[in-house]
Chains A and B, each alone.
Chain A
Amino acid sequence: MRLTNRDWNALGLSALLIAVVCCLPFLTQGYWLSIGVTIAMYAVLATSWALFSGPTHYISLATAAFFGVGTYTVGYGIEVLPYWTLLPIAGVLGAVLAALAGLATLRLSGVYFVIFTLGLAEFIRQIITWVQNLTGQRGIYVLTSITESHIYWQLVGLAALVFLTGWLIGRSRLGFALRIIGDDEEVARHSGIHTARAKVLLFMVPGAAAAIAGAILAPRYVYIEPMLAFTPMLSFQVVIMALLGGTGRLWGPLVGVIPFTIIWEAISASFPNQTTLLLGVSFLVIVYLLPRGFVGLIEDTRHRGREAQA
């Protein structure tokens, strides 16, 4: 793999940005750090979501399923294993689950996949409840000395990893294959691309990332219960944030996550009863005004600027 000067510049700039972002806990320990945690969490979830759903146009609502699996991995594992080993275990479990779900559904087209992924979180939640019911499980507590700052750094680190993965995939044969699949799956198949395998492989990335994010956040919840770990709201918020930002570019979802989180926060503070309305309005804005998200808007503006110059 040869890197051009431009690539080195981009990588250097990204590293610098991540270093700057990591300084947040030194500036504030309170309110803004908790918003930082939320933004970092959604950055991981929305970016990894867009890695798969961007090129393939499959809308996945499975984020909550993977996230909950990660949370429960830590919930069950914290008593027997050191915390640090649980993060990769959660990642592997998330990836395996994504592969299984992918094998079962990714041969099907669009809408079947959406419905299946929506049901997946509920399905896993029921399995966990069933096992707990069978064994008479007590409440699960995650009592650790992990602070909000640690959680923040871990999430930023995970986000960096997701970006790096996305960047590498974009440069690889797999990324190229996926762009063809997104444009026309029939053509891709005729060109000799193993479409099902490519999709399953890629679906494992958001699976692993969301599971690790869930594992990182488990110590923040202290008490793990299915209602909190598998909240379906999470899946929808991730989709809306990613689409709002735009899935055409690697940094697209981030452009959606930051304003959405801040607006959501402002609305929670000022109009506590109207948060659901924001979700609806965002959906309408995406569909009617920003079909390609903020990325589309930014690129159109640039394009127009260039035309004006010429």
Chain B
Amino acid sequence: MKRRTFTWLAAASIAAAVPATAQETLIVGAVAPKTGPLAGGAAVSYWPNVQLWVHDVNARGGLDVGGTRYMLEVVEYDDQTNAGQTIQAVQRLVNQDGAQIVLPPYSTGLNLAAAPIYNRLGLPMVTSTATTDKADELSQQFPNVFITLGGAVPIVDGVVEAFTALRDEGTIGNRLAMVNVADAFGIELMGAAKPAFEAAGFELVYETSYPLGSQDLSPVMKAAAAAEPDAFIAWSYPPDTFALTEQAIVEDLQVGAFFTAVATAFPAYYERFGEQAEGVLGIGGVNADGEAFQDYAARHLEVTGAAPDYWASAMVYSSFQVLEQSIEAVGSFDNEAIIQHIKDNSFETVIGTLEFDENNNNTSFWTVGQWQDGVFKGVASTGREGAVEVQPKDGWN
């Protein structure tokens, strides 16, 4: 009994509507965590997009490959947040299930662990949830792998840019409190951020790190508040993003800029803090006022019953669109030609135009967003259109 998201009823109704072309079925493979530490993030940013993309493609009559229309049928596997399982599942999808398209996995670690197998199978791999500063080395080793979500260094540059803008207009001073979660991505961001902020003339009045999974972050926030900073930054993960915001409200931390990292862009963040989230800065962002995103967000809500997040969600869907457009443009399942097509062309997606440099790296992505009027709007990016002006944080109401 395989889990197939495809519904025969929908197929039948579409078949009736488009009787002219022959109907073929195409197996699409998807593997990502449904259990394990990353299951929560995948449930917000990854799985709904698989469902939505397949729905969208089938609703417009299927994938047109060289004149034949293919209805998509998804085979989903849970990799249990275990790299060995990811590799095995990709093999299984191609060899046992006959998947013609395999979507990229979820998270930096699982994507990179699966890169060799995608490479050996010759599959195009447009990653959407991997952040890396090593795109050049990766693309040399795995020419089929594309990076879209950026790396730690440009993200930090974006944050520095946003904070410098606030300082230059006199909203905040130079005193900065900065904390990080002591785990891979948090450490990497902190490592890049310290020299960058010092170079920009900020004074680090408080810094600390806390272990992954810390339950009580009130000592961190108390100490940060005691240092009387003008601005606060946390390179945090989802649970601590929520906990630190909570503590900032409790301590009534008075700063002109408040930044938390991963999960600030989740709709759940605004649901949890409501108007108190206004003005909070976070990692990610989208062109929230753009038509492409608004249309996407409405379909996401309608088809999956949940709103997309304001960072990775749209990128995940966009990476599927890159694959979709390339396959249709090439007109066959010749993976080599598809990979070449991805390298050579630019793509219109829900995130805007996507194109890749000589290192298979998408160099324009959102780095910083801010909650403004209940929407998490992009305020800094590396070349995306639609950034809004960054606003000072006006207390916690």
Contact = CB atoms under 8 A, between A and B. Distances in A.
Interface in B182-232: 182-184, 187-188, 190-191, 194, 209, 211-212
Contacts of B116: 147-148, 220, 222
A192 interface: no
List the 8 closest pairs (A to B, CB-CB), nearest first: A136-B191, A223-B112, A31-B95, A272-B78, A31-B91, A30-B95, A133-B182, A222-B112
A222 B115 contact: yes
Contacts of B112: 141, 221-223
Interface string B1-43: 1110000000000000000000000000000001101000000
B190 A136 contact: yes
Contact of A223 (B92, B109, B152): B109
B77 interface: yes
Given A34-B91, A129-B187, 9 more contacts: A34-B87, A34-B88, A227-B37, A227-B81, A233-B82, A265-B92, A268-B89, A273-B34, A275-B78
A202 to B, nearest CB: 28
B141 A143 contact: yes
Interface string B83-123: 11101110110111000000000001100110111001100
Q: Is the interface of B mostly helix, strand, loop or mixed?
A: helix
Contacts of B83: 220-221, 228
A94 B155 CA distance: 38
Interface in B30-61: 34-35, 37
B35 A226 contact: no
Contacts of A132: 182, 184, 187
Interface of A: 29-31, 33-35, 37-38, 41, 126, 129-130, 132-133, 136-139, 141, 143, 147-148, 217, 220-223, 225-228, 231, 233, 265, 268-273, 275-276
B1 A271 contact: yes
B111 to A, nearest CB: 8
Given A223-B112, A227-B81, A141 B137 contact: yes
Contact of B183 (A38, A129, A276): A129
Contacts of B37: 227
Nearest to A272: B78
Contact of B82 (A33, A129, A231): A231
A139 B182 CA distance: 13
28 contacts: A30-B91, A30-B121, A38-B84, A38-B88, A129-B182, A129-B211, A130-B182, A132-B184, A133-B182, A137-B187, A137-B191, A138-B188, A139-B133, A148-B116, A148-B117, A217-B84, A220-B84, A223-B108, A226-B184, A227-B37, A228-B83, A233-B80, A268-B85, A268-B88, A269-B77, A269-B96, A272-B78, A273-B35
Given A132-B187, A272-B3, A227 B84 contact: no
